[in-house]
Amino acid sequence: MLSALLAGAALLSPTLVIVQPLNTTILGPYGNVPPVYPSPNTTGLGGWEDALTKAKSFVFQLTLEEKSGMVTGTPGPCVGNIIAIPRLGFPGLCLQDGPLAIRVTDYASVFPAGVSAAASFDRQLIYERGLAMGAEFRGKGAHIQLGPVAGPLGRSAYAGRNWEGFSPDPYLTGVAMELTIRGIQENGVQACAKHWVAYEQETQRNPTTVNGSITGAVLQESVSSNLDDRTMHELYMWPFANAVRAGVSSIMCSYNRINGSYACENSKSQSGLLKGELGFQGYIMSDWGGTHSGMSSVESGLDMDMPGGLGLYGLEFGPNSYFGGNITAAVNNGTLDASRLDDMITRIMTPYYFLGQDKGYPLIDPATVELNTFSPQSTWFEQFVLNGTSNRDVRADHAVVIRKLGAASAVFLKNVDGTLPLAAPKSIAVFGNDAGEDTEGYYNQINFEYGTLSVGGGSGTGRLTYLVTPLEAIKTKAQADGSLVQQFLNNTLIATTDISTLVIPQMPDVCLVFLKTWAEEGLDRTSLDTDWDGNDVVASVASYCNNTVVITHSSGINDLPWASHPNVTAIVAAHYPGQESGNAIVDVLYGAVNPSGKLPYTIALNKNDYNALPITAVNSADPYAWNAWFDEKLEIDYRYFDAQNMSVLYEFGFGLSYTTFSLSNLTISGAQVSPTAAPCVAPGGNPALWEGIYNVTVTLSNTGPVSGATVPQLYITLPSSAPTTPPKQLRGFEKVFLNASESSVVEFTLMRRDLSYWDIVTQDWVVPAGEFGVSVGFSSRDIHLTGTITAVA
């Protein structure tokens, strides 16, 4: 939420301007949203029954003013705060950013970003990342971690926050959500899955106000994501179903409007889809300033207003709120049924008891107060206990999993004739401003010129306590090997100078070029190129050096126009690996770790091939003019390129290894299970959807010279009886490590949901009749085995 304020309003891109065509279908305040009232009560379904009883007895003891306080954020030590009620022994709630680190504090780790976690395709490491992050939030006294992220999903290659989430593939993101949440919550920390829902661009994510002032009158409302019901279910809602099934404590509604109505006051999405269909038993909190009404939001299912103040980003701190005193007044004047307010607090307190947060939780580290620029102490009007120990070091041995995941998520896109791994090269030249130390401090809040990028910016960043740069790690390795290292970090200089005049006489054995691509909250990317003239840097180095290895540290999709340059002998997409960046990249460049990362998105042949671009301007002053029509429906990322039969440069799921693998012996087993799923709700939706109904096995063999891991991937093709669907959809993956010459059987379980589509007429998931295609391979376009499943109607 923070960086957007700093970033100001300069959202119009010089290189990418997508003006929405004049469309008379402008969606007004309530848009095209089927009304769903009242908001359902929690029942504690799915194992929260005992906690629910405790929560209810807590609520029973509250005064009306306390109740209003329990649902309204207030300025305090953390980025979000709920009042303490000392007479009931309730210490309040501390909500902290973000999805890859506890941000506003010190002595905490910076983990790889979501995009890196996804690129690992490694269930175990994704879980361990969640477990370690949760331990740090707990250690610092934060009750709630504001993460992980499944919205944005990644509809558009340009969206500024895609890297905070995992992948535009909903199945991969769903698995990552589930494992991350389980990891976080095993520490007794509440996870908050965000942002619900269809939040797919930064531009105009919040209203335009007079003079951009936080208190100014609204000129134009936030962009509206207008999407059909099937697309909602099969793409944007899908990973949140995994989150709810994993028992996520809270869900954050997003800034955008959906079908014309703000996400935090949209009764269909909150009460209908989330609390109704998915059986979500926890609470919905607003994104910071995402609340735009009082009673409409409450009646539409919003349970907690964050950070509680009025104005843009909720930053107009003072005693006034859409909630707070307005809730008290609304109960008193009979507008708001007291049972709805009770349910809001019951939903907030049930996970608190379920996770044992009432049983001796660590105190808030006072260091967070000093670093909290969002609600500094001068803005508080409530008392908070701040007598915990300051500057607690919560990093433990988390550097180990950070380094492992950093290496496991590096995606090798090109490696000509064994360029890599490096074997003690005699002479190494390192190029690019992404290789070395930054010169402006470790905040990752700005797009500085010099210094390696380990993560992106905004509320989803982390505050580094140290950062191992690629150059530092290369030098350490080179010293052990007796190699010569030369370094050139000025991109302008590299791009405009004849490299032969820079490099010491003979040709280096290898030229390592480090490029970066920044992305941050509040701004969409304006280009898919690497930053700081990355293309010119590669052109210059490759015109001289016949063994040029390019490594990118990037938020995600990049255009790589030099990919086929004969002197570019290797390309590695290293994404945002966190604080152990240098060690992780050296591990794979030198072969201590065999690369096994896979692309969690598609790199198109041409940068203009991408569809579903963000809307960056409107040619109307209508307050409701900002509309993003999700007309591509299910066709995002590889689903689009496959459906349109377009060639791509590097496809979804692709990534090289230092060894080779083969697949054989596809088997499919399973009863002909009745396709009709009994209508019964549990967290995550109808439990029948999560039943394994077919098992698929393949034999994976390491046929190469060294040990290593790879990721067999299973894609499903729906029968022709289903409505139009992209040709292939990921429905299984497993990262498997094998020694040289070793084989193993890999099993995929297909759940009923994996073989279903959302039927808009019956409003249910349907397993279509006919023959399903089952494809197993090493990427979405490298299919080695195929089989079929026939479902009975």
Ligand X SMILES: *[C@@H]1O[C@H](CO)[C@@H](O)[C@H](O)[C@H]1NC(C)=O
**Coil, strand or helix: which one is 189?**
coil
- Ramachandran quadrant class, 121 (left: phi over 0; alpha: psi -120 to 50; beta: rest): left
Rounded Cα distance between 534 and 666, Å, is 44
Of 229-248, binders to ligand X (CB under 6 A) are 229
Shortest Cβ 492–ligand X spacing (Å): 4
CB nearer to ligand X: pick between 210 and 680: 210
Work out which of 476, 526, 527, 543 binds ligand X, going by CB under 6 A: 543
390 binds ligand X (CB under 6 A): no
Work out which of 377, 479, 500, 665 binds ligand X, going by CB under 6 A: 665
53 binds ligand X (CB under 6 A): no
21 binds ligand X (CB under 6 A): yes
Work out which of 507, 605, 646, 668 binds ligand X, going by CB under 6 A: 507
330 binds ligand X (CB under 6 A): yes
Work out which of 74, 109, 145, 326 binds ligand X, going by CB under 6 A: 326
Q: In sequence order, what are the residues at sequence separation of 6 or more whose Cβ sits closer than 8 angstroms to the Cβ of residue 2?
A: 373, 374, 458, 459, 521
Rounded Cα distance between 478 and 484, Å, is 7
383 binds ligand X (CB under 6 A): no
Work out which of 16, 45, 214, 329 binds ligand X, going by CB under 6 A: 329
Shortest Cβ 112–ligand X spacing (Å): 29
256 binds ligand X (CB under 6 A): no
385 binds ligand X (CB under 6 A): yes
Q: How crowded is residue 311: how many other Cβ atoms within 10 Å of its Cβ?
A: 16
Of 186-215, binders to ligand X (CB under 6 A) are 210-211
Work out which of 443, 629, 690, 737 binds ligand X, going by CB under 6 A: 629
Would you state the structure tokens that stand for residue 536, as one six-digit string?
A: 């010119």
CB nearer to ligand X: pick between 315 and 584: 315
Omega prior to 421 cis, within 30 of 0 = yes
Of 743-762, binders to ligand X (CB under 6 A) are 745, 747, 749
Shortest Cβ 537–ligand X spacing (Å): 12
Tell me, by CB under 6 A, how many residues bind ligand X: 60
Shortest Cβ 484–ligand X spacing (Å): 15
Pairing between strand 648-650 and 603-604? antiparallel
Q: What angle do CA 413, 416, 418 make, to 5 degrees?
A: 105
DSSP annotation of 459: T
Pairing between strand 411-415 and 568-573? antiparallel
Work out which of 32, 447, 611, 701 binds ligand X, going by CB under 6 A: 32
CB nearer to ligand X: pick between 606 and 664: 664
Work out which of 561, 623, 670, 727 binds ligand X, going by CB under 6 A: 670
258 binds ligand X (CB under 6 A): yes
Q: How crowded is residue 81: how many other Cβ atoms within 10 Å of its Cβ?
A: 24
Structural contact between residues 574 and 562, judged by C-beta atoms closer than 8 angstroms:
no
The secondary structure of 416-443 as a DSSP string is GGG--S----SEEEEESTTSS--SS-S-
Pairing between strand 510-517 and 548-554? parallel
Stretch 460-499: interaction string toward ligand X, x if CB under 6 A = ------------------------------x-xx------
681 binds ligand X (CB under 6 A): no
Stretch 338-357: interaction string toward ligand X, x if CB under 6 A = -x---x--------------
324 binds ligand X (CB under 6 A): yes
301 binds ligand X (CB under 6 A): no
Structural contact between residues 697 and 632, judged by C-beta atoms closer than 8 angstroms:
no
Q: In sequence order, what are the residues at sequence separation of 6 or more whose Cβ sits closer than 8 angstroms to the Cβ of residue 609?
A: 641, 646, 648
228 binds ligand X (CB under 6 A): yes
Rounded Cα distance between 520 and 445, Å, is 8
377 binds ligand X (CB under 6 A): no
- Give the burial class of 511: count Cβ atoms within 10 A of its Cβ; 0-12 exposed, 13-18 middle, 19 or more buried: buried
User: Half-sphere exposure of 350 toward its Cβ, with a 13 Å CA cutoff?
Assistant: 29
Which of 445, 371, 397, 467 has the alpha carbon at shortest distance from 96? 371
CB nearer to ligand X: pick between 324 and 768: 324
Q: How crowded is residue 321: how many other Cβ atoms within 10 Å of its Cβ?
A: 24
251 binds ligand X (CB under 6 A): no
259 binds ligand X (CB under 6 A): yes
Work out which of 124, 209, 335, 660 binds ligand X, going by CB under 6 A: 335
- Catalytic residue selected from 122, 287, 434, 587: 287
CB nearer to ligand X: pick between 453 and 494: 494
Q: Which residues of 335-359 are buried (b: 16+ CB within 10 A; e: fewer)?
A: ebeeebbbbbbbbbbbbbbbbebee
Work out which of 501, 619, 669, 762 binds ligand X, going by CB under 6 A: 669
Rounded Cα distance between 307 and 285, Å, is 9
End-to-end CA distance of the chain: 49
SS3 for 669-732, per residue?
A: ECCCCCCCCCCCCECCECHHHHCEEEEEEEEEEECCCCCEEECCEEEEECCCCCCCCCCCEEEE
Q: Position 707: which residue type?
A: S
CB nearer to ligand X: pick between 465 and 699: 699
Structural contact between residues 285 and 301, judged by C-beta atoms closer than 8 angstroms:
no
The residue of the chain with the least Cβ separation from ligand X equals 325
294 binds ligand X (CB under 6 A): yes
Rounded Cα distance between 262 and 269, Å, is 10
Work out which of 40, 112, 307, 362 binds ligand X, going by CB under 6 A: 40
Structural contact between residues 28 and 47, judged by C-beta atoms closer than 8 angstroms:
no
Shortest Cβ 544–ligand X spacing (Å): 6
CB nearer to ligand X: pick between 437 and 747: 747
Work out which of 254, 269, 372, 452 binds ligand X, going by CB under 6 A: 269
Which of 704, 603, 699, 701 has the alpha carbon at shortest distance from 654? 603
Would you state the structure tokens that stand for residue 198, as one six-digit string?
A: 């269809």
Would you state the structure tokens that stand for residue 791, as one six-digit string?
A: 């479902």
Work out which of 325, 623, 687, 773 binds ligand X, going by CB under 6 A: 325
Shortest Cβ 133–ligand X spacing (Å): 24
CB nearer to ligand X: pick between 89 and 679: 89
Shortest Cβ 606–ligand X spacing (Å): 21
CB nearer to ligand X: pick between 131 and 693: 693
Would you give the distance in Å from CA 4 to the centre of its chain?
A: 18
Is residue 642 part of the annotated active site? The answer reads no
Q: Position 666: which residue type?
A: L
Rounded Cα distance between 286 and 284, Å, is 7
Shortest Cβ 505–ligand X spacing (Å): 11
387 binds ligand X (CB under 6 A): yes
Shortest Cβ 584–ligand X spacing (Å): 27
Q: Position 124: which residue type?
A: Q
Rounded Cα distance between 518 and 438, Å, is 14
692 binds ligand X (CB under 6 A): yes
Of 562-581, binders to ligand X (CB under 6 A) are 566-567
631 binds ligand X (CB under 6 A): yes
Rounded Cα distance between 433 and 516, Å, is 8
Shortest Cβ 434–ligand X spacing (Å): 15
697 binds ligand X (CB under 6 A): yes
Shortest Cβ 726–ligand X spacing (Å): 19
The footprint of ligand X (CB under 6 A) covers 21, 23, 25, 32-34, 38, 40-41, 210-211, 228-229, 258-259, 266, 268-269, 294-295, 310, 320-322, 324-326, 329-330, 333, 335, 339, 343, 385, 387, 490, 492-493, 507, 542-543, 546-547, 566-567, 629, 631, 665, 667, 669-670, 692-695, 697, 699, 745, 747, 749
Catalytic residue numbers read 287
